[in-house]
Structure 1
């Protein structure tokens, strides 16, 4: 499956969860620009839909944490366009929370959004993709928190670690018709970055990344195109790191700061 076609997604259909804003919207734009027909979802109707190449994405309201809603979302996308070639499980995220005092309800919601929802949507997508001669591709958007948790992210980090292992498990079970891959994202500079890192925080974060900048949404979008395209036709169960080389170890930074080299 997906053995040719390169970057040309003409005639193909992509579904991007959480694709109405931020990274998800940029992913949707990338698929539209490559010729795909794109469905995006969210819990509320957006004021503006992702668009590129004179075409806009189709919006379907859905709370992907609900298994029935996840199934209905995929069914509507497949019925509207007659197929589904790529799924990007992008919806996710979490505010910081103290693990010692966080409520069970909070933990349940974070795990549902970042782990269970991708599972539910992927199950529904698999039913469509396995019946297609060309199969399909699923891309899960993960986080460096799955590998290196930060304070305040216990539930989120645990869910993202689960998503990485879910990716590998599904790749084993669903090959060869459906490829399943994972992207480990580092800090991404979005319009909300100032609210997350503070007015000058983004520059400070960039200073600990070997590439000397935070990712931009387009970096993640291009990785999604690669993993959904024929250029990665033999890639499944992979974890593609899109984090600029990770972060310098704290000990290295401490030594450099003491030497006045940072």
Structure 2
């Protein structure tokens, strides 16, 4: 039976939070290329919105940490397009900070951006998705930090672990009308993160990844297309790892280096 192209999003409407740059812009571009109408949001307007195939995303200013702003964002989308089919909760991140000295205000902001904001946006999206034909899909962009904490990321790690748990809780409550899934991202090569990976452009870091390279934003974008598409119609509450196999254990790398094996 011919069911058409399951990755054709023509007629569907997608919201990508933090979709003006980096991973978010790649996600927005992927959905545009698949035929969707795409809205991106952020606190500041981009120089140019994400585009693909001669089409551009629509930018709507919004601070996703503010539930009132989030409700207005979704109302604006529905007023323009009439529906909302896919939400990608991409906005997030954190600078490194010493857990022993970090201020309460810093911790609150990190948790608000990485955990509370996705919850607020998902709630607003669910209000629309649950009432429309075809329901909808929510994809939460998480981090390997939720599974394997790194020094300097205590508040971020806690928030991302919470996002994974939130995904599973919402998947239980909102199915079958709305599916909710999670992507665990690993090391991703973006312009803003280039300095973090060292003077060699990340070549040394890539050696600890089984796939022998860091991810690029498009790797995450393609995973979003899958989770939002009919190909994953029975996938709900899942955690899809997009991290190249993770990282080799430190003890294995140490033993390999001591033996002189390359």
Task: Please give the TM-score of this superposition, normalised by the length of structure 2.
Answer: 0.97
2:104 maps to which residue?
A: 104
Q: Give the 3-state SS of the residue equivalent to 2:202 in structure 1.
A: helix
Counterparts of 2:205 and 2:90, CA distance in 1: 23
Give CA deviations for 1:50-105 in whole Å, capped at 9, x if unaligned.
Answer: 00011100000000001111111111111110000000000000000000000000
Distance 2:99 2:201 in 1: 24
Structure 2: how far apart are the matches of 1:98 and 1:63? Answer: 26
What's the counterpart of residue 127 of structure 2? 127
Secondary structure class of the residue paired with 1:39: strand
Question: 2-side partners of 1:105 and 1:188: how far apart?
Answer: 28
Q: Is the 8 A contact 1:99 1:154 kept in 2?
A: yes
The residue aligned with 1:224 is 224
5+ residue gaps, structure 2, are none
Q: Is the CA contact 1:65–1:117 (under 8 Å) kept in the aligned structure 2?
A: yes
| TM-score for the superposition, normalised by structure 1 | 0.97
Which residue number in structure 1 is paired with residue 163 of structure 2? 163
Query: What's the CA shift for 1:192?
Result: 2.2
Q: How does 1:118-157 map to 2 (within 5 A)?
A: 118-157=118-157
User: Aligned runs of 1:58-73 on 2, under 5 Å?
Assistant: 58-73=58-73
Give the 3 Å change call, closer, same or farther, for CA 43–232 of structure 1 in structure 2: same
Secondary structure at the aligned position of 1:109 is classed as helix
CA distance 1:4–1:116, shift in 2 (3 Å) = farther
Q: CA deviation at 1:198?
A: 2.4
Q: CA deviation at 1:4?
A: 7.6
> Is the contact between residue 193 and residue 202 of structure 1 (CA under 8 Å) also seen in structure 2?
no
3-state DSSP of counterpart to 2:59: strand
Number of residue pairs matched? Answer: 260
Cα distance, 1:194 vs. partner? 2.3
Between 1 and 2, higher relative CO (CA 8 Å, sep ≥ 6) is seen in 1
- Counterpart position of 1:22: 22
Q: Which runs of 5+ in 1 are unaligned?
A: none
Which position in structure 2 is the counterpart of 1:94? 94
Q: What CA RMSD, in Å, does the superposition of the two structures yield over aligned residues?
A: 1.1
